[in-house]
Amino acid sequence: MNRKAISMLLRGAFAALVISAVFAGSAGASPAWKFNGSELKSAETETILGAAFESSLTVPGLTTKCENFLYKLTISDVSGVGKGEVTELPLYNCTTNSAACTVTSIAAEKLPWPSKLTAVTGTNYIVIEGIKVSILYGGEECALFETLAIVAGTAGGRVDNTAETATFDASSFSATKTALKALGGTVQWTGVFPTEAFKWHREQALTVS
* Rounded Cα gap, residues 70 and 178, in angstroms: 20
Q: How far apart are the first and last CA of the chain?
A: 48
Residue 164 belongs to a domain: yes
Judge whether 21 lies within some domain. no
In a domain, residue 58? The reply is yes
Residue pLDDT, tens place only, 28-41: 457 999 999 999 98
- For the chain, the domain total comes to 1
Handedness of CA 135, 188, 207, 162 (dihedral sign): negative
Q: Rounded mean pLDDT of 45-52?
A: 94
Q: Is residue 6 part of a domain?
A: no
Lowest mean pLDDT, pick from 10-24, 47-61, 184-198: 10-24
- pTM for this predicted structure: 0.84
Lowest mean pLDDT among 7-16, 144-153, 185-194: 7-16
Find all residues with CB under 8 Å of 146, minimum gap 6, and list them: 136, 137, 138
13 is a domain residue? no
> Which residue range is the domain that position 147 belongs to?
31-208
Out of 8-12, 25-29, 174-178, least confident range = 8-12
Mean pLDDT of 49-61: 90
* 142-177 pLDDT per residue, tens: 999 999 999 999 999 999 999 999 999 999 999 999
| Helix, strand, coil shares, percent, the chain, to 5 | 15, 55, 30
Span 127-156, average pLDDT:
97
